[in-house]
């Protein structure tokens, strides 16, 4: 892939894993990764950005990409964990 | 807090370190873990006891990747540790990712700071949305000289367990210290004892005076030596066991309180007309003694602390508050009765039993938790 497409792909992988680990995101099929404004993953990104004090864009912007690569506590950020 | 607010019902909890990271000396791991528990003890009634062999409430271990629970670690970076809410089995346990480089400095992943966060979970705290709070999920570089708990963390843990109470032993200790009416001669306390407590502390002509029973220690903040002096050798008419003291530097006067009386001294001279009753200052009759006092030069106000409330006296308008206020409202993080307080540079130092809290009036929060003998060359 051209570099930026590959980076984008890596970013999508990162954010998906992060949301699965800490925001109870469950990807059921490829369609879940479509980035429409009200798609499941966009909603989850907004939820995560709100919790971590980021600008709530629903997009994988650089601040968001930077923060999800910081060391963190392994415990989820939202309930739904028992 | 977690859903359903799980918390421990007992106040003394046990912890056991099951294995050690090869990144640090075991003694450093023990110290970091103990220090983390001490911070939570400093703002709650909780006490923590290290268990060597048996099961403990909080089992602490280092592991990599899958480690027999539901959340495998992910190699270096990413998740560095996790812990479980209070409960049986895994409840309360804390797991640290051995794929991290554990340190006791601000480089790498600082064990004390991560453990402090994880034990917040072990005690029932969930993640905080406040980026300044310890319980915020992302680890950042931290300033080891600043008290690590933010007001948000303290509010959360005290919602679950209440404030630092005065335990009977503290009360007995402070009542012994405050009312040495028994004929026994209190021995001169050891200034380096971890159990050191004070009756009163004040600045005094550039020095700091630490009162205890019938003695006081004089210490210049920037010099090492400490002089111990019999109170009666300075002010023969003053009874032992000062309750509170404060200095008004611009008048070269120091005010000493005992019971419902007070004296004003200049150097080793008691000014004429003293003692007077504290009611002359504007206190109501139901106030029978002052626990601590200090003069805030910046505000021109004198603060008097009585149990968990305080009064302030405005020197300019010569007026006392009409009614007392809660200490913790004006001084967040300072809870319950205090033994002594004084101002040094731009900070207030509150003494409560064996603890000393450095308070930043600008930030309106506790910035350091110190030992009472912090000022002595121990």
Give the nearest partner residue to B78 out of A51, A71, A82, using CB atoms: A71
Confidence band for B177, pLDDT divided at 50, 70 and 90:
very low
Residue B163: pLDDT over 50: yes
Range with the poorest average pLDDT among B42-46, B100-104, B356-360: B42-46
Class of residue A77 by CB neighbours under 10 A (exposed 0-12, middle 13-18, buried 19+): buried
Q: What angle do CA B127, B12, B147 make, to 5 degrees?
A: 45
Confidence band for B44, pLDDT divided at 50, 70 and 90:
confident
- Determine, for residues B137 and A22 on separate chains, whether the beta-carbon distance falls below 8 Å: yes
> B94-97 and B58-63: which strand pairing?
parallel
Q: Does B55 touch chain A (CB under 8 A)?
A: no
Distance from CA of A64 to the nearest CA of B (A): 12
Q: What are the tens digits of pLDDT across the range B207-218?
A: 899 999 888 888
Q: What are the tens digits of pLDDT across the range B130-153?
A: 998 999 999 987 777 777 888 899
For residue A37, give the 3-state DSSP assignment.
coil
- Are the C-beta atoms of residues B214 and B275 closer than 8 Å to each other? no
Bridge partner residues of B102 (DSSP)? B109
DSSP-assigned letters across all residues of B142-163: --TTS-S--HHHHHHHHHHH-S
Average pLDDT value for residue range B65-87: 94
Residue B223: pLDDT over 90: no
DSSP-assigned letters across all residues of B316-354: TTTEE-SS-EEHHHHSTT--S--SEEEEETTEEEEEETT
Residue in A with minimal Cα distance to B129: A51
Query: Bigger pLDDT: A46 or B226?
Result: A46
- Determine, for residues B131 and A53 on separate chains, whether the beta-carbon distance falls below 8 Å: yes
Confidence band for A35, pLDDT divided at 50, 70 and 90:
low
Establish whether B132 is a catalytic residue.
Answer: no
pLDDT of residue A48: 95
Confidence band for A80, pLDDT divided at 50, 70 and 90:
low
pLDDT of residue B193: 81
- Determine, for residues A73 and B97 on separate chains, whether the beta-carbon distance falls below 8 Å: no
Confidence band for B175, pLDDT divided at 50, 70 and 90:
very low
Mean pLDDT of chain B: 87
Confidence band for B315, pLDDT divided at 50, 70 and 90:
confident
CB atoms within 10 A of CB A7: 12
Residue B128: pLDDT over 60: yes
| Residue of B118, B173, B176, B358 marked active site | B118
Q: Does B139 touch chain A (CB under 8 A)?
A: yes
> What is the gyration radius of the CA atoms in chain B, in angstroms?
23
Residue B179: pLDDT over 80: no
DSSP-assigned letters across all residues of B202-259: EEETTEEEEEETTEEEEE-TT---EEEEEHHHH-TTSPSS--EEEEEGGGTEEEEEET
Average pLDDT value for residue range A44-67: 92
DSSP-assigned letters across all residues of B102-122: EESSSSSEEHHHHHHHHHHHH
Distance from CA of B72 to the nearest CA of A (A): 9
Residue A32: pLDDT over 80: no
Give the nearest partner residue to A71 out of B118, B129, B139, using CB atoms: B139
């Amino acid at each position: 892939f051209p570099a930026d497409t590959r980076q984008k792909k890596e970013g999508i992988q990162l954010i998906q894993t992060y949301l699965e680990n800490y925001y109870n995101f469950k990807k059921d099929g490829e369609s879940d990764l479509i980035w429409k404004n009200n798609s499941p993953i966009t909603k989850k990104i907004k939820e995560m950005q709100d919790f971590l004090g980021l600008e709530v864009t629903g997009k994988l912007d650089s601040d968001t990409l930077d923060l999800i690569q910081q060391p963190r506590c392994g415990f989820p950020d939202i309930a739904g964990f028992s | 807090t977690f859903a359903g607010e799980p918390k421990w019902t007992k106040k003394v909890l046990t912890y056991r370190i099951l294995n050690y990271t090869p990144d640090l000396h075991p003694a450093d791991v023990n110290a970091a873990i103990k220090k983390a528990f001490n911070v939570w003890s400093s703002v709650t009634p909780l006490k923590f006891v290290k268990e060597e062999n048996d099961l403990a409430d909080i089992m602490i271990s280092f592991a990599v990747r899958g480690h027999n629970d539901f959340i495998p670690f992910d190699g270096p970076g990413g998740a560095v540790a996790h812990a479980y809410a209070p409960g049986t089995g895994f409840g309360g346990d804390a797991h640290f990712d051995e794929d991290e480089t554990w340190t006791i400095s601000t480089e790498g992943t600082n064990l004390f700071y991560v453990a402090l966060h994880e034990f917040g979970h072990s005690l029932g705290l969930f993640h905080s949305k406040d980026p300044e709070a310890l319980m915020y999920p992302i680890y950042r570089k931290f300033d080891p000289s600043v008290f690590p708990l933010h007001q948000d963390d303290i509010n959360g843990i005290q919602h679950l367990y209440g404030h630092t109470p005065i335990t009977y032993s503290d009360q007995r200790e402070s009542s012994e210290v405050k009312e040495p009416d028994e004929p026994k001669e209190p021995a001169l306390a050891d200034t380096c004892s971890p159990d050191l407590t004070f009756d009163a502390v004040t600045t005094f002509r550039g020095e700091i005076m630490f009162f205890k029973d019938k003695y006081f220690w004089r210490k210049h903040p920037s010099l090492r030596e400490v002089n111990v002096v019999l109170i009666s050798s300075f002010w023969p008419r003053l009874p032992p066991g000062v309750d509170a003291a404060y200095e008004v530097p611009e008048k070269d006067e120091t005010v000493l309180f005992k019971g419902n009386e007070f004296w004003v001294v200049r150097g080793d001279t008691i000014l004429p007309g003293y003692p007077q009753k504290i009611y002359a200052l504007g206190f109501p009759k139901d106030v029978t003694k002052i626990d601590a006092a200090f003069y805030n030069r910046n505000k021109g106000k004198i603060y008097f602390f009585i149990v968990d409330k305080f009064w302030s006296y405005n020197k300019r308008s010569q007026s006392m508050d009409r009614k007392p206020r809660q200490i913790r409202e004006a001084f967040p993080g300072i809870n319950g009765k205090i033994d002594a307080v004084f101002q040094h540079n731009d900070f207030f130092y509150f003494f409560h039993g064996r603890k000393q809290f450095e308070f930043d009036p600008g930030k309106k929060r506790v910035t350091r938790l110190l030992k009472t003998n912090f000022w002595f060359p121990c």
